[in-house]
Amino acid sequence: MKINPNNFIWSIVNLLRKAEIELPEDVKSALIRAETIEENQVAKSQLQAILKNIELAKNHGIPMCQDTGIMIFFVELGTEFHPGFDLEAAIKEAVILATAEIPLRPNAVNPLTRQNSGDNTGIGIPDINWKLVPGNQLKITAAPKGAGSENMSALHMFNPKEIEHIPNFVLETVVNAGGMPCPPLMIGVGIGGSFDAAARLAKEALLEPLYTPMNSFEEEILEAVNALGIGCMGLGGSITALAVHVKTAYCHTASLPVAINIQCWANRHASVVFGGEE
Ligand code: SF4
C-alpha cells in the first residue's frame, strides 16, 4: 500500500490537531458523569469549569490546555503495509508543521542544557512506539502528554514477595501528587516486563477506553483512591480518579517491576488508520 508522503504528513498534523482540541468521547462522558455525581460544591464547580473549557476548545479550534505536551505516538504497522517513504521522518516533519500551524507550545528541550528546539522535536522526540502487526493497515495514535501529570508518575522494582504492596504504591503515588496533576485522574499501572517495559505498559493502559470494564483489582484501587478525598484539582471531593487500568507482562522470576503513569483530566489521544483495502 503506497500513500502520498505529503498527504500523510498533513493527516498527522490533523491528527495532532484533533488530539489537542477534542477530548475523546469516553473521557468527556466520564467527566460529565463525575460532575453529575460529585456533591462537593467546590469540586463540582471545578468540573463545570473543565467541561466549559472542553467546549470552548472545540468550538474555537484551540488546544484544551496551554501545556500541549510532549509528542508521543503509538504506531501499529501492518507487515504488508509498505508506504514507500520514511515514516519516522514524516511524523517528525508533521510535528514541526503542527507546532507552527495549530499552534503548539514548543516543549521539547535538551535534558541537560535545557535548550529548547523550538519545534517539539529533538533526540528521541517525537517518542514513536512501533509495533509490527499482521495485515496491510497502518494505525497511528497521537497521545500528547503534559508534564504536570507525567512528573507525578512513579516506578518501583519490587521484591516479588511484596506483591500485596502494589495497591499501596498506587495510593502513595496519588497522595504525593495531590492536586498537581490536575485531577480527576486516569491511572495507568504497568506490572511486569522489565524496568522500561513496565513504564510503557502503564502508558498504554492510559489509552484503554474508559468504558472498558475494570476488574476487581482495578475497582478496589479506584475506590481507595477516591476515598482519599483529594478531589477535582485537589480541592476536595469524592472523585479523584475516573479509572484505574492495569496492564501486565511476564517478568523475571526475581523481579516485580511496577510503574504508575498518572494522567490528568486532559487525556488527549486520537487515532488514524491508513490502508486496509486491496
Ligand atoms: S496536568 Fe494536564 S490539564 Fe494540568 S496543565 Fe498539565 S496538561 Fe494541562
Sign of the torsion formed by the C-alpha atoms of 166, 170, 175 and 180 = positive
Please work out, in degrees rounded to the nearest 5, the angle formed at the alpha carbon of residue 179 by the alpha carbons of 173 and 184.
85
CA gap 54, 87 in Å, rounded:
31
Task: Report the separation in Å between the CA atom of 277 and the middle of ligand 1, taken as the mean of its atom positions.
Answer: 39
Is any ligand 1 atom within 6 A of the Cβ of residue 149?
Answer: yes
pTM of the model: 0.96
| Cα of 146 from ligand 1 centre, angstroms | 6
Q: Whose CA is nearest to atom 7 of ligand 1?
A: 146
Pocket flag, ligand 1, residue 67 (CB < 6 Å): yes
The answer to whether the beta carbons of residues 121 and 110 sit under 8 Å apart is no
Q: What pLDDT, in 10s, does the model give residues 41-61?
A: 999 999 999 999 999 999 999
DSSP state of 164: G
Cα 276 to middle of ligand 1, angstroms: 35
CA 68 to ligand 1: nearest atom: 7
Asked whether the beta carbons of 145 and 199 are under 8 A apart, the reply is: no
**SS3 assignment, position 110:** coil
Q: Does 184 sit in the ligand 1 pocket, CB within 6 Å?
A: no
Beta carbons within 10 angstroms of residue 272's beta carbon: 15
Strand partners, 257: 157
Backbone phi, then psi, for 141, in 5-degree steps? Answer: -115, 125
Q: What is the pLDDT of residues 137-195, one digit of tens each?
A: 999 999 999 999 999 999 999 999 999 999 999 999 999 999 999 999 999 999 999 99
Residue 251: what pLDDT?
Answer: 98
The model's pLDDT over 225-252, given as tens digits with 9 standing for 90+, comes to 999 999 999 999 999 999 999 999 999 9
Best CA proximity match to 91, nearest among 21, 145, 142, 20: 142
Whether the CB-CB separation of 46 and 40 falls below 8 Å is answered with no
Q: What is the pLDDT averaged over residues 119-141?
A: 97
Query: Probe ligand 1: pick from 65, 185, 206, 267, max atoms within 8 Å of CB?
Result: 65
Mean pLDDT computed over every residue of the chain: 97
CB of 144 closer than 6 A to ligand 1? no
Degrees, nearest 5: CA angle 25-26-31 = 95
Residue spans per domain, the chain: 147-263
CA dihedral sign, ordered 91, 97, 103, 106: positive
Cβ atoms of residues 26 and 208 within 8 Å: no
Neighbour count for residue 66 (Cβ, 10 Å)? 8
Atom of ligand 1 nearest to the CA of 180: 1
pLDDT for residue 277: 66
Q: Is 50 in the pocket of ligand 1 (CB under 6 A)?
A: no
Query: Cell numbers of 107, please?
Result: 516543549
pLDDT reading at 278 higher than 60: no
- For residues 232-259, one letter each, b for 16 or more C-beta atoms within 10 angstroms of the residue's C-beta and e for the rest, the string is bbbebbbbbbbbbbbbeeebeeeebbbb
Per residue in 69-105, pLDDT tens?
Answer: 999 999 999 999 999 999 999 999 999 999 999 999 9
